[in-house]
A and B are shown apart, each in its own frame.
Chain A
């Protein structure tokens, strides 16, 4: 049973990190689909990540809205990173943005502005 569960976990991990670059032992990478729409969003998200505990580096691809974050799993986890994205005003995968943070975004960073 245990082996199966581990195998299942490994499979999930495999799919979750399919498009992720090579990682060393104490560094993990996560990809998060965000609601970021422009370069200003990119800047504010990457800045948030730079100040997030345990985050080594981050990059947002504006076209695909994908935020790639490398982090130290001993210091943080995926939920915390997603929460940080939400608190900056953006959706992270299925988790919606914190309403107050979203309201404070610049007009051009709001998702209803559409990709532009």
Chain B
């Protein structure tokens, strides 16, 4: 059963609408009507989207495959017609009033993402999604995933501690471990790799990034709580034959990236991506006796293969290997210094990681809406690290299998996906005398139903049941609703549950760079949270240039959380299960507009209220600013020959949990409010592009980033209370060389 309007009533509504529009646009009360069909079967496609090219004005087809667009909304005489599982098409409609469009199937599992010229907030997805395109990626410094988010307002990038300088992402004011990271829609860099995972994907590996705020699909597991970041890696079939990126900055950190791709046979293509970075220069600009950034060498290899057989079989294979060594601490610390009373403080780490994945999909011939997908992945991750005199080692072995069947009920207004999954996770960690180990075996089943009324309503309802060998049956329901009040005014609601088993030590590595003792008060339970949120998107056109206003609000409440309590006791970080409330309220309002041709402005305001019950007392979580502002100015000359970008951010005061003894326990202080400014200019030639930029141009540095720096083995030492930049201004330059 689907929702229909009697023809008479439909025409009456249409008539009213036309009348309404003719009042608004007296000069152009004309329409374009069309019909969208499947190329092979000639059956109408219901819920296909038709959008005026270069605008966000569009509609979707009704139960008979018909649609109507207003000519007044057109920017160019072309429309883009797209549909899940089909190849999107651009159709010239100049001088026409009626068109028939036949779409052919793509034979792939990937969902079609149609982007308007300037809209980075997708108008079509049922979730609140944003896209960081490769053009956006080139705007920020090179070469890891952390920097990719710098020109984006929804994801925060924070420094974890003052010794390693590692960066983490936050969404909705919640730690990065609550965000599911996927590469090509396969869960990646989970578990023990979470604290440093952003370093493990080079920016040059990435084609684009999709950011989904709030609850997403159940297909990728039960873990996401605050959102999902999907990194689309470069496609072996479509990417450049050669891509070389070299980068160097004023701290003497160097990056080299090389991508080489080849079409091996008509069916097979491959892509080899290499990344190396190295910092060997000890820098101490804040004169606290500690290196501002840990020294390190990182080598990363990613090899991707793609197999395509007609419209039916598509398969992708990926292999990744990396090795990273880091050394931080006091300026004259020497690797492997023996324990002694006069020893200097240092941190060391060595990480090895191997992973692979495969994605294979089969599309039934003549039934482009019906497909089978099989996804498998495996990871081996091992590290040895030293923090002062604390040894912390860990190993993770993971295997993940998933099987998805996708089809329709009657017609494409009702689609569904069902499947089964199996997750194997084996963890071993040792911190000094504490040994943590667990093996998870989790078979699960899931289903997702998508209703599309072909006009303005999309409902995605999904649920999964997993049978966890340690924690019993886990039920995870999720719901996404998208309602288009008009093609330019879109409401979305997302609600659902998330579940994850925390890795308390690795998620709080920062606290290892202090003299806080790690205390486990009880057996820790898995984390469970509900997330409910909604967003409102308004696309508009002003003076012939497009813009968008987006506002959203999300509320996350934890049923259980592993609390990392640094408040209650000055020399401890205590881990225990949540007793009482823990929640996050996040509000964001963002405005994007092309002020002048080639000149884009993005501004955003964000409010976070994140509180957790620490020892019976509800308190603000440390190091989350309540107020933040974000402004990004982007300028480009035609064909992007010259580009300039400037991003300014304001961070409000943040509560801190200092451990200085004289303040007594629960010594709550606040950070300073501060601004950061990043900028970049690039010039493109035919194959070469040169860029110069600066991070933290205002040269703001957190004062006393390391507490008790003069006595690192004393009881006051704490390098984990990092709320601002450590390194000060960094100037960088680099080049990109491409052969198509």
Query: Hey, which bits of chain A sit against chain B, CB under 8 A?
Result: 38-40, 46-47, 50-53, 62-63, 87, 100-101, 103-104, 107-108, 113, 115-116
Contacts and interface: CB of A to CB of B under 8 A. Distances in A.
B90 interface: yes
Interface string B659-702: 00000000000000000000000001110000000000000000
B638 A50 contact: yes
Name the residue among A46, A108, A113 with the largest chain B CB count within 10 angstroms. A108
A115 B92 contact: yes
A103 B53 CA distance: 23
Nearest to B101: A116
Contacts of A116: 89-92
Contacts of A87: 740
B76 A39 contact: yes
Interface in B691-740: 740
Given A39-B76, A115-B92, A116-B92, A50 B641 contact: yes
Given A101-B740, A115-B92, A53 B686 contact: yes
B88 interface: yes
B263 interface: yes
Nearest to A107: B87
A47 B639 contact: yes
Nearest to B235: A104
Contact of B78 (A38, A51, A53, A107): A38
A52 B740 contact: no
B327 to A, nearest CB: 43
Contacts of A103: 237, 263
B399 to A, nearest CB: 34
B90 A39 contact: yes
Interface in B70-128: 76, 78, 80, 87-92
Nearest to A109: B90
Given A51-B684, A53-B686, A62-B92, A39 B53 contact: yes
A47 B641 CA distance: 10
A55 B122 CA distance: 36
Given A38-B78, A100-B263, A103-B237, A108 B638 contact: no
29 contacts: A38-B78, A38-B90, A38-B92, A39-B76, A39-B78, A39-B90, A40-B90, A46-B639, A50-B638, A50-B641, A51-B641, A51-B685, A52-B686, A53-B686, A62-B92, A63-B92, A87-B740, A100-B241, A103-B237, A104-B237, A104-B238, A104-B740, A107-B89, A108-B80, A108-B88, A108-B90, A113-B89, A116-B89, A116-B91
Name the residue among B90, B92, B238, B639 with the largest chain A CB count within 10 angstroms. B90
Contacts of B92: 38-39, 62-63, 115-116
Nearest to A104: B238
A38 B237 CA distance: 22
Given A51-B686, A108-B80, A108-B88, 7 more contacts: A40-B90, A50-B638, A62-B92, A87-B740, A101-B740, A116-B90, A116-B91
A50 B639 contact: yes
Contacts of A63: 92
Nearest to A87: B740
B264 to A, nearest CB: 12
Contacts of B639: 46-47, 50-51
A20 to B, nearest CB: 23
Nearest to B87: A107
Contacts of A100: 241, 263
Contacts of A50: 638-639, 641
A107 B90 CA distance: 9
Contacts of A46: 639
Interface string B634-655: 0000110100000000000000
Interface string B615-640: 00000000000000000000000110
Name the residue among A46, A100, A115, A116 with the largest chain B CB count within 10 angstroms. A116
A103 B80 CA distance: 20
Contacts of B241: 100
Name the residue among B88, B91, B638, B685 with the largest chain A CB count within 10 angstroms. B91
Contact of A108 (B76, B89, B684, B686): B89
Given A46-B639, A50-B639, A107 B88 contact: yes
A50 B639 CA distance: 7
A100 B639 CA distance: 23
Contacts of B88: 107-108
Interface string B385-396: 000000000000
A44 to B, nearest CB: 10
A104 B638 CA distance: 23
Interface string B156-200: 000000000000000000000000000000000000000000000
Contacts of B53: 39
Contacts of B638: 50
A116 B87 CA distance: 14
Contacts of B237: 103-104
A17 to B, nearest CB: 26
Interface in B235-290: 237-238, 241, 263
Shortest Cβ-Cβ A-B pairs, 6 listed: A108-B90, A50-B639, A51-B686, A107-B87, A116-B91, A38-B90
A50 B78 CA distance: 24
A46 B641 CA distance: 13
A102 to B, nearest CB: 12
Contacts of B91: 116
Name the residue among B237, B241, B686 with the largest chain A CB count within 10 angstroms. B686
A63 B92 CA distance: 9
Contacts of B90: 38-40, 108, 116
B594 to A, nearest CB: 16
A2 B684 CA distance: 45
A87 B738 CA distance: 14
Contacts of A47: 639
A40 B89 CA distance: 11
Contacts of B263: 100, 103
Nearest to A105: B238
Nearest to B103: A107
